[in-house]
Chain A
Amino acid sequence: MRTTRPRRAAVLATTALATTALLLTGCSSSAKSGSDGSSSAAGGEKITLTVGDFGTFGYKEAGLYDAYMAAHPNITIKYDTTQDGQKYWDALTTHLASGSGLADIQAVEVGYIAQAAGTLGDKFTDLGKADGVSAGAWLPWKSKQATTANGALIGLGTDIGPMAVCYRKDLFQQAGLPTDRESVGKLWQGDWSKFVEAGKTYQAKAPAGTFFTDSASGLFNAALSSEKDQYSDASGKLVYKDSAGVKKAWDIAVSASQAKISAGLRQFQDNWNAAFTNAKFATVVCPSWMTGIISKYSGDSGKGKWDIAQAPVASNWGGAFLTVPKAGKHQKEAAALAAWLTAPEQQAKVFTKVGNLPSTTAGLQLPAVQSAKLDYFGDTPTGQIYATTAQSILPAAIGENDGTVKTIITDNGILDIEQHGTDPAKAWSNVNKLIADKVNG
């Protein structure tokens, strides 16, 4: 779950305000404020719960807020969505630091959940003991990611991101590639480097102005997600430099960029969104949550033209959690809402609406998920494809700095190679320098 766009002004404004507030108060009053419990609304008192998230969580789209408000007449839900997940997180950390400006429920992306459960652990309430939550409902590795060293469950899993590859049948046909999802999957089965090879075949006969895939960074994320060794080791120590997985994914992304099979876009940005509308690329690595983005930006012109094939290697990319910051005023009610939103039935509704795959074991089994077909993708058995992949995911260890490292590698490393033709060795040494600068304060 992530994405980009507008609301920049809003985010910037809030950040600026928070910044000013921090500077003015000399950054001193922040740590403890608002953490000493919360008043809970008694009986029928009217309260407003706020939800902050990023990208497309699908709660509004699936009508869940309205349903909840109808069932709880004393509760009004307000929500604020930032498109760019990175900006969302930057703003959220600032708000957590100052203990103000926080929504009652804040979503956290999987790349940052280790940080939330680690350094920031004591700023969130323990949801493991909240009403309506049974910690065993989620896939075991999903809950483990949001559990602190003391055993507190600070985040309730929303979705997971088992991966596939979404491709445009019309462009594949014009480039002389097969179009049915079985044969397409076989093109690259078993190895991401075969995906790059298929890209070269495509590019040789590609319709003018189109590229095989959207971005080398997306490819990097995809290839890395299928590796067991990622940025950090099991103890949370950063080992990205010697990680075989990072090396492999980097090489694949670089080879894609050098073969010019990528459109060189930054994912979740305006031009990337526009490129969906203009059919500028033929494939996008496609965790289940990405299907919602595709249908949103490809619009009517792309309807029926997209299909979904198996990824070269099964893996998970993304997924998020709902947390309840201690600074919130209505922690009890917020926890209840978060528990309800992440319950299997609601997760299934979100899946059928925007494609975010349930992270609860019961949710994955629901017929509504198993037999789901996303309207936008025609007769593609979406639910079956993703739910099957979900079973074979081998979760990797994630550390506190994974999100930061990922952003630097993709935004300052690979994007730089794509946009400026920087020598990969130089780009990699830049990445190392930046990470040393950003991580080891």
Chain B
Amino acid sequence: MATSIRAAAEDGSAPPSAPRRTGPAAAPPRSAWRSRLYRLDLKASPYAYIAPFFLCFAAFGLFPLIWTGWLSLHRVDLLNTDVMDWRGVDNYTRLWDTDQFWNALRNTFTIGVISTVPQLLMALGLAHLLNYRLRGRGFFRVAILAPYATSIAAATLVFVQLFNPDYGMINWFLSLAGIEHTDWYADTWPSQIAISTIVTWRWTGYNALIYLAAMQAVPKDLYEAASLDGASRWQQFTKVTIPSIRPTILFTIIVSTIGATQLFGEPMLFGGGVGVSGGSAHQFQTLSLYMYELGWPSRQLGRASAVAWTMLLILLLIGAVNLLIARRNRSKLGG
């Protein structure tokens, strides 16, 4: 609207209140060029405005993606990337036959589940509490975002100290409760739980804020109506809040799943000297760590690329499943 008013005013042929469309036929011949420019502007400008993103995406997203795919069909040494020996799908079939890959896939899944599920549940609860009228609400809302603002490295180094099997605070607390010596570094489940704790600690507040924003958009009269009908707080939460923010919940599930699939920094740093291999028995090696181990310490870029592409396929698969669930939910709600 604004553009058309401006164009019309420049023509001088009509006042701002003139009809919205100024046809080229109605304009004097002098402005035919202008009008063509104007139409070009209307059609092409939006593309020009969004172009920077897509150019950046092509350069830094699409190209590396395709290049990685190309690499994954070759044998490439990290230190001599000029030499590429064609391998076909060998890198992929070899992954299929490697125990370490399956182990990494399993670890990624278990760590993903034990970090994402409690994380989202806690975030939901926190958001619900913050949605009440409480004193110092602003402070608490900012405070729950603090872990997210901490760097992974700093947070993990602190947690490494806390979980230290010999001198750590957590084992000290557990020993007060009569639980003796849990080896948070070397044993499979304890080490995975420790890593999940770091992930949960960092991301709970972030998700809580997203939920909070969604909750604030839920109309107040729904709650009033519910409380008039005699619904308790808990019933309001389960019957009003949860259904209202369902799309947001789905969004956080997708984002967290992607994050969990790409988990790298926490296990890497948690493992200290043996972080790259995810512990002495690969007990907490994730797919990303396996990719890094293949590509960098072992210098086999081709095989690392194969892992990268496999991860991408897994993510697409997860995305598809989520989409199906979302569609089913929507049709359920709609019907």
Contact = CB atoms under 8 A, between A and B. Distances in A.
Interface in B244-276: 265, 268-269, 272-274, 276
Interface string A397-424: 0000000100000011001100110100
A165 B64 CA distance: 52
B272 A438 contact: no
Nearest to B151: A9
| A contacts with B: majority SS | helix
B190 to A, nearest CB: 12
B280 interface: yes
Nearest to B85: A441
B298 A404 contact: yes
B303 interface: yes
A13 B269 CA distance: 11
Interface residues of B, number: 49
Interface residues of A, number: 45
A23 B68 CA distance: 9
Interface in A5-30: 6, 8-9, 12-13, 15, 19, 23-24, 26-28, 30
B166 A8 contact: no
B296 A415 contact: no
B272 A93 contact: no
B299 interface: yes
A26 B297 contact: no
Contacts of A438: 297-298, 300
Contact of A271 (B68, B166, B280): B166
B272 A437 contact: no
A384 to B, nearest CB: 34
Interface string A256-282: 000000000010111100100000000
B299 A93 contact: yes
A406 B281 CA distance: 16
Given A12-B153, A94-B296, A274-B166, A411 B274 contact: yes
B269 A90 contact: no
A179 interface: no
Contacts, number: 116
B25 interface: no
Nearest to A29: B81
Contacts of A39: none
B79 A12 contact: no
Given A266-B274, A411-B274, A415-B274, A9 B166 contact: no
A434 B98 CA distance: 10
A276 to B, nearest CB: 13
A322 B7 CA distance: 71
Contacts of B4: none
Contacts of B11: none
Contacts of A28: 81-82
A412 B277 contact: yes
Nearest to B166: A271
5 cross-chain pairs, A with B, having the tightest CB-CB distances, nearest first: A9-B153, A419-B186, A415-B280, A441-B300, A438-B298
28 contacts: A8-B157, A8-B272, A12-B265, A19-B296, A23-B64, A28-B81, A31-B80, A87-B273, A90-B276, A93-B78, A93-B299, A97-B78, A97-B79, A120-B79, A266-B274, A271-B166, A271-B167, A411-B274, A412-B280, A419-B185, A419-B186, A419-B280, A422-B281, A437-B98, A438-B297, A438-B300, A441-B75, A441-B300
Interface of B: 60, 63-64, 67-68, 71, 75-82, 98-100, 151, 153-154, 157, 160, 164-167, 183, 185-187, 265, 268-269, 272-274, 276-277, 280-282, 296-303
Given A27-B81, A28-B81, A97-B79, 4 more contacts: A266-B280, A274-B167, A411-B277, A441-B303
